Amino acid sequence: MSWEKNVRRVVPYTPGEQPRGERIIKLNTNENPYPPSAAVLPSLIDIGKGEFRRYPDPKAEDLVEAIAETYGLTKKQVFVGVGSDDVLAMLFLTFFNGGKPVLFPDVTYSFYEVWCDLFRIPYTAKPLDENFHIRTEDYLSPNGGIVLANPNAPTGSLLPLSEIERIVSANADSVVIVDEAYIDFGGESALPLIDKYENLVVVQTFSKSRSMAGLRVGYAMGSERLIRFLQDAKYSFNSYTLSTPIIRAAAAAMRDTEHFQQNCQKIVRTRGRAERRFRELGFCFEESAANFLFVTHPLLPARQIFEYLRGRGIYVRWFDRDRIRNYLRVTIGTDEEMQEFFEVLEGYVYKVRSYGAGEETSC
């Protein structure tokens, strides 16, 4: 058909399953198992009656201010969007126009290649080393931009700040995006570098450490000049993306630092316990600075474990992709959820072992 040859064809990103039901344990999309700040709900409800008639504040000033205050920035250094996916897409559109390939790791957030395809941005995926760590040297050659998730997903590995700085300082001719969706669970943010490097932009989200994945809020922080370009593109696309209640709720959540810190600490403690349980069951994994662990077992195929768990209402993430087909990404849930998860997993491991699925091996 003639119209079809003019279609912008893309293979869309595949999000993790969102199963419904009471008796499930959902450890597949890196959501936070705890509720958001208690300030969120009242600000969603407590909206003056007339306000829904009006358009929201296109600048989301209240939220921008809360973020700027929290991180000691000027309001002109902050950009907000509908989840960090929206922010990242806008960054790709605005800054990756150089013609040279954009660089990111071969194992990383799979939306990066989707946006490149959508916006027709050339890219090169740089292989992580054999332990799934980023090789800094891969990002020191000419490029059209760089995007790094730090901690990386789905591996959880953290690139030290000194290595991030090496990459940013060696690439003054291109924009470097550091996607810090998981930074609050144990990493050192690259944020202090934005005053030193105009080409650096740091992206964070309310979806993980602030327990608000369903409300969809993300933000970017960078030099005033860079943020201005980003805003110009955004206001040329869709000005009213965040609704009035969401702007208020997110601003209130950002100001509740105590809840935020306690929330992160709980996850980090549970992650430590989960590491020990995985090790006892013979799983191998690298250190994670995120709210998930990326595990593999020397004897048990990941896909079979995934399907066994799924059959029992426990959802983890398995990626049908080269290099990581034998891995599972397990989000850290509550202690109770992890307890149940490990009971079921232990049952499986012992059952398979008793059939003599192989000898003991170590990582």
- Residues of this chain, 93-122, that bind ligand PMP according to CB under 6 A: 109
Identify the bridge partners of residue 284 per DSSP, sorted by sequence position.
Answer: 296
- Angstrom distance (rounded) from CA 16 to CA 167: 31
CB of 120 to ligand PMP, least distance (A): 21
Q: Which is nearer to ligand PMP, 153 or 332 (CB)?
A: 153
Tell me if 213 contacts ligand PMP by CB under 6 A.
Answer: yes
Report the alpha-carbon distance of residue 120 to residue 1 in Å, rounded.
23
How far apart (Å, rounded) are the C-alpha atoms in residues 45 and 243? 13
Are 90 and 237 spatial neighbours (Cβ–Cβ below 8 Å)? Answer: yes
**Among 116, 121, 164, 181, which residue sits at the site for ligand PMP (rule: CB under 6 A)?**
181
- The smaller minimum CB distance to ligand PMP, of residues 295 and 345, is found at 295
Give the H/E segment covering residue 61. helix 61-71
State in angstroms the smallest separation of the CB of 179 from ligand PMP.
5
Other beta carbons less than 10 A from residue 72's beta carbon: 9
Report the nearest approach of ligand PMP to the CB of residue 198 (Å): 23
User: Any contact of residue 241 with ligand PMP (CB under 6 A)?
Assistant: no
Q: Given the complex with ligand PMP, which of 208 and 259 has the nearer CB atom?
A: 208
Tell me the residue ranges of DSSP E strands in 238-336: 284-285, 292-296, 314-315, 328-331
Question: Taking the complex as a whole, how short is the minimal distance between the CB of residue 361 and ligand PMP, in angstroms?
Answer: 31
Could you tell me which stretch among 79-87, 241-249, 257-265, 324-332 binds ligand PMP (CB under 6 A)?
Answer: 79-87
- φ, ψ for residue 102 (rounded to 5)? -80, 145
83 near ligand PMP, rule: CB under 6 A: yes
Nearer to ligand PMP, 82 or 352 (CB): 82
Does position 153 interact with ligand PMP (CB under 6 A)? The reply is: yes
Q: Which residues contact 332 (CB under 8 A, 6 or more apart)?
A: 27, 33, 267, 270, 271, 274, 291, 292, 293, 338
Q: What residue ranges bind ligand PMP (CB under 6 A)?
A: 83-85, 109, 149, 153, 179, 181, 205, 207, 213, 218
